[in-house]
Amino acid sequence: MTVQELIKIMGLTPLSTFEDREVKGVFISDMVSDVMTAAKSGNLWLTIQTHKSIVSTANLADVSAVVITGGKKVPQETIDIASKYNIALLSSPLPTYTLAIKLHELGIEAE
C-alpha cells in the first residue's frame, strides 16, 4: 500500500508536499532516538511530536511518512522543512492507539 492510498483510506490529512512511497510497516514512538535506532526503511512513523527535529529523524530513518496523531497542531516551520526535504508529513485526529488498530486491520503491521 502507498502513502497516497493510506491518505484516502484512513482519512489522513497531508501537511507537506512529497513523492508517494510504499508503506512497508508501522513504527510507533514519541522518542526520536527510538526512531533513529529501530525504525525500518519504509515504515509509517506514528507520533505526537511536532517539532522540526522529526523531519531530520524521518529522513535519517528513511520512513515512508510521519503521521502526527491526536489532532496535534504542527508548526508551519516543521511543515515547510518537511516539504523542502520531500518528507511526507500527515495528520490524524485519531489517538495513536486507535490509528494503530486501524492500520493493523488493513494488514499494516509493526516490524
pLDDT tens digits, residue range 1-23?
999 999 999 999 999 999 999 99
Is pLDDT at 111 greater than 80 in this prediction? Answer: no
Q: What is the 3-class SS of 82-99, one letter each residue?
A: HHHCCCCEEECCCCHHHH
* Bridge pairing between strands 13-14 and 89-91: antiparallel
- What is the CATH topology of the domain spanning 3-105? 3.40.1390
- Distance CA(27)–CA(40), nearest Å, equals 8
* Predicted structure pTM score: 0.96
pLDDT tens digits, residue range 44-99?
999 999 999 999 999 999 999 999 999 999 999 999 999 999 999 999 999 999 99
Segments making up each domain of the chain, as ranges: 3-105
What does the block give as the cell for 78? 516543521
Backbone angles phi, psi at 37, to 5 degrees: -100, -20
